[in-house]
A and B are shown apart, each in its own frame.
Chain A
């Protein structure tokens, strides 16, 4: 069974450029989460979707960040324009929620470096 698939695995870009991170959740999972991880702040939840609908985006740092989930098998996280402080590992995770949160399955992450 394929796990959560993220792309790209690594991205190096220059300040001001647009960055798009992609995620394919596990088939059958109905919740999708975007996290950002840094040494200083740990794992931070940016936004999550239930049944493709954004539920809580209060963790999105600012208007430069946006996320979409057009269907059950695909989500994107976009940063425009990117800044050096956005450098981090971005994880996508999915779960099957029925009552509780359910076990989270993470992708391998997208390591972003903004110069």
Chain B
């Protein structure tokens, strides 16, 4: 059974610091990886996706993927109080052009302290 594991937290980070969120996945066949942000009572909002090993940067966010270790991470630089939310890691079977449902982790609750 495909599983995605995350530390539920809460992870508390001071404003302006770097927040580091981690995720592992069980299915080596997974090809696509996503980070979503979810505020309480709301649906997930896509932050980034990554398909290839290495780093991918988008503004204050950097996603890192290591397929050998089955490990995905998200770094948030210059953390802001508005970044406080639950961050969901998800894995999919296709990297472009495919269509399958995602396997989600339970999420990490991030708190940015002013």
Answer whether A and B are interacting partners: no
B residues lining the A interface (CB < 8 Å): none
A residues lining the B interface (CB < 8 Å): none
